Structure 1
Amino acid sequence: MTTSHIKTALLQIHSIVGLAAALILSVMGVTGAIMSFEDEIQAGLNGALAHVVARDAAPLAPAELIARLQADPALGKVAALSLSRDPTSAVRVRFARSEDGGHPSSVLVDPYDGRVLGTPLGESFFATIRRLHRWLLLPGDGKGAGRQITGATVLGLIVLLISGLVLRWPRRASSAALWLKPQWRLSGRGLHRSLHSVIGTWLLPIYLVIALSGLSYSYVWYKDGLTWLLSTKPPAAPKPARGERDASPASQQPLALDLVWATALREAGDRYITLDLMLPAGGAAAVRVRSWLDETHDIRDEFRIDAGTGRLIAAERYADKSTGERVLARVFDIHRGSMLGWPGRILFMLAAATMPLFAVTGLLLYMSRRRLRRPPQPVRTVRLVPGE
């Protein structure tokens, strides 16, 4: 098979995959760009609401805080708390899903008296954007068809990147102008092709990083493969399904949150910025605790603490991880470019927002190729009858 035949076949694959994935990739790109600075946007929107006046008295312990909240049946069952070391920061409280499957909004609470300050602005908007980005708002969320569709679309993006690179490969591969300089003097199909190929070359490394990191959220086999490749520890046992009851005796014990909180503070020490407490659901025996060590990066220690006795069951400290395990722990930072700091986040945001450009130019190129391949219509001659 000659090179021209290979490129013809690749062009067909590139076109078919591109047409099938263009709309979904555009949606995922735009929503990903919107979420790039979600934390900063929400912090700006809720700066006044999330700020409290520091007092001489100590903040309420989590157990007392939850007891005051649960006195109001309208709030629902508390599922998680986010507590900051900053004495002027409100506590963020998240609630368990309601009986109809809905997810109540979180609330901000005064840590000194348990008074509900309000619902964070922008939370429902970003929650919808996140569901659209990950699952296309399809029923079932992560357990429905949306997760499989977005995962297959990301695989399609990898096919587009590889096939596009091969199709672009010029005879003079060392010419930087051919690779990186758009032909602005062209118009119509020539300009569309130049923008599609040159900007695609610029952004190819970023899209490849986004795709390869994003697949870990879509496929268990891919995530397990990364763990096998990068981690020195055996894969963790699968987590029990939501609502699945733990059969251990500890699961029958009442929640001793004071003991859990004391253990969490002892293990986190003075290194944490925020502590997240995920309360056990469905009779689970352990409280999961995340100790965030950095405000702008996904760096944290994680603990599992016995819900009934406050005994430390397991600890995963970021400082103890190998290089590969740190990569696994920071897949989200890699996915959004924050591993490179603010410049990386801005660059990845712009790359994601540019995704619709390839959908539009790719569609225009496909339509122009169809017109060029259309056989010319024969010229119809009209023979006149004598006398007409």
Structure 2
Amino acid sequence: MTVRIGHTVKAVLFQVHSIAGLALALLVSLIALTGAIMSFEDEIVDQLNAGIMQVPPRQIPALMPDVLVARLKAEQDVGKVSAVTLSSDPAAAAHVRFARDENGGRPASLFVDPYDARVLGSPRGEAFFATVRRLHRWLLIPGDGKGWGRPITGTIALGLIVMLVSGLVLRWPRRGGSVKMWLKPNLGLSGRGLHRSLHAVIGTWVLPVYLAITLTGLYFSFEWYKDGVTWLLARPHAAAAKIQPKMSAKPTRTASSQPAPPIGFDQAWTTFQREEGDRFSKALLTLPAQGTTIRIRSWGKASLLETTRDEFRIDAVTGQMVSAERYADKTFGEKIIAAIYDIHRGAILGWPGKLAFMIAAVLMPLFSVTGILLYLSRRKLRRPAQPPLGRLVPGE
């Protein structure tokens, strides 16, 4: 009876694995390949733009950000500035980003000389990687993160988890402790046998990577998943603050009220420099969509990861520090939450981790192809054999 139940469970899992694989093969491969393309985006962009990211260091102080923006606008027909990246390195160019225009498009960013606001150029590869990122995250569906693309890619990630778990159960050999059974493909086979061996064994190799990618990717797809991870790993007061429903901040305006004057970076930048001194390597200053609180993300000089950063919120009018969230003060669980993006792309393990995750992502189409070939061969085997036409006689 136990054996029969086990066969029934495996038969159900086999059908679930096959249906999910056939339904998601193309989309999973597309998301994996776009993720592989972005694995070394930072290194590629830095290499492509090495000539415009550096300036000759000078003995004069760099321009304050508001003066930099004002001079840039005086010399160039540019849109509304949304963010500026400044560096403590006297040889690093400033990086200016712009808000979306009326059509929803975002103008190309510019590297600018921090001493005289001279435009050095737009970064090559920026538009390409922006398109790849939108394809990876939202399948280029209109609305980006606020449209249907986000839950669709999240559902695909859930489907991949179903395939991974069911595939592991179906893969479990009779000698579960045998490393050879788990990890060595039988390359002496051909046809259906070879396809099955490659599908199962290579799938075993990359299964931990795929689980890491999907479990962290869900964090960016579903609010309920993000809230659950925050509740599980963050301190109670931090989790409660992050799980609070987001209220729409619609400013009330009376008939006599006037639009708020535009705010600048200088007050917040002065407060940040006074607070941090020369401990940072670069800082990203972002203007708020509403209100007067500027967000400043800064990275230390020894920081090697995107997520090992400090975050400050400073009032742009008064220069008062609203909040300071330092990476060093986070608990272990909060550091995991902060590093989810770097875990997702393997950067938490340095460039070897990024390379391993990229190779695993590139291999995803292999499972799609071998899975489809196995499905077609099963259908062929199940098809009843037809007698040769030459042997048919009247009445048969």
Pairwise TM-score range, normalised by the shorter structure: over 0.9
Q: Deviations along 1:48-82, whole A, 9 cap, x unmatched?
A: 11111111111100111111123356210000001
Shift of 1:195: 0.4
Tell me the secondary structure at the aligned position of residue 295 of structure 2: strand
Shift of 1:353: 1.0
Q: Deviations along 1:220-276, whole A, 9 cap, x unmatched?
A: 1100100000000223245566xx545699x94652532211111123333211100
- Does residue 50 in structure 1 map to residue 53 in structure 2? yes
Tell me the secondary structure at the aligned position of residue 25 of structure 2: helix
In the alignment, what sits opposite 1:270? Answer: 278
In the alignment, what sits opposite 2:113? Answer: 110
CA contact (8 A) 2:157 2:214 kept: yes
- Does residue 195 in structure 1 map to residue 198 in structure 2? yes
- Does residue 284 in structure 1 map to residue 291 in structure 2? yes
Tell me the secondary structure at the aligned position of residue 235 of structure 1: helix
Q: Deviations along 1:179-201, whole A, 9 cap, x unmatched?
A: 11000000000000000000000
Tell me the secondary structure at the aligned position of residue 302 of structure 1: strand
* Cα separation, 2, equivalents of 1:123 and 1:247: 38
* Cα separation, 2, equivalents of 1:37 and 1:337: 11
Tell me the secondary structure at the aligned position of residue 342 of structure 2: helix
In the alignment, what sits opposite 2:173? Answer: 170
Shift of 1:379: 5.6
In the alignment, which of 133, 136, 139 is matched to residue 139 of structure 2? Answer: 136
- Does residue 185 in structure 1 map to residue 191 in structure 2? no
In the alignment, which of 240, 260, 266 is matched to residue 258 of structure 1? Answer: 266
In the alignment, which of 385, 391, 394 is matched to residue 376 of structure 1? Answer: 385
CA contact (8 A) 2:346 2:356 kept: yes
| CA distance 1:369–1:90, shift in 2 (3 Å) | same
* Cα separation, 2, equivalents of 1:52 and 1:7: 63
**Where has structure 1 moved over 6 Å in runs of 4 or more?**
none
Tell me the secondary structure at the aligned position of residue 49 of structure 1: coil
| CA distance 1:55–1:3, shift in 2 (3 Å) | same
* Cα separation, 2, equivalents of 1:106 and 1:206: 34
* Cα separation, 1, equivalents of 2:109 and 2:136: 21
- Does residue 327 in structure 1 map to residue 330 in structure 2? no
Tell me the secondary structure at the aligned position of residue 40 of structure 2: helix
Relative to structure 2, which stretch is displaced further, 253-262 or 75-84?
253-262
Tell me the secondary structure at the aligned position of residue 2 of structure 1: helix
Q: Deviations along 1:333-370, whole A, 9 cap, x unmatched?
A: 11011111121111111111111111111110111111
C-alpha RMSD of the superposition: 2.0
* Cα separation, 1, equivalents of 2:304 and 2:179: 40
CA contact (8 A) 1:109 1:116 kept: yes
Relative to structure 2, which stretch is displaced further, 368-377 or 350-359?
368-377
Shift of 1:177: 1.2
Unaligned runs of 5+ in 2: none
Q: What amino acid is the match of 1:6?
A: V
In the alignment, what sits opposite 1:62? Answer: 65
CA contact (8 A) 1:289 1:303 kept: yes
* Cα separation, 1, equivalents of 2:394 and 2:307: 82
In the alignment, which of 325, 336, 348 is matched to residue 345 of structure 2? Answer: 336
Could you state the TM-score of these two structures normalised by the residue count of structure 2?
0.92
CA contact (8 A) 2:140 2:149 kept: yes
Relative to structure 2, which stretch is displaced further, 166-175 or 316-325?
166-175
Q: Deviations along 1:24-53, whole A, 9 cap, x unmatched?
A: 111111111111110010100000111111
* Cα separation, 1, equivalents of 2:394 and 2:167: 54
Q: What amino acid is the match of 1:27?
A: L
In the alignment, which of 235, 241, 244 is matched to residue 241 of structure 2? Answer: 235
**What percent identity do the matched residue pairs reach?**
56
* Cα separation, 2, equivalents of 1:27 and 1:43: 25
In the alignment, what sits opposite 2:35? Answer: 32
In the alignment, what sits opposite 1:318? Answer: 327
Q: Deviations along 1:260-307, whole A, 9 cap, x unmatched?
A: 1111112333321110000122x3221010011224442100011112
Tell me the secondary structure at the aligned position of residue 58 of structure 1: coil
Q: What amino acid is the match of 2:276?
A: A
Tell me the secondary structure at the aligned position of residue 312 of structure 2: strand
Relative to structure 2, which stretch is displaced further, 72-81 or 179-188?
72-81
CA contact (8 A) 1:227 1:235 kept: no
Tell me the secondary structure at the aligned position of residue 385 of structure 2: coil
Tell me the secondary structure at the aligned position of residue 39 of structure 2: helix
In the alignment, which of 10, 14, 20 is matched to residue 17 of structure 2? Answer: 14
Q: What amino acid is the match of 2:336?
A: V
Q: State how many pairs are aligned.
A: 381
* Cα separation, 1, equivalents of 2:394 and 2:134: 68
CA contact (8 A) 1:14 1:164 kept: yes
Shift of 1:325: 0.3
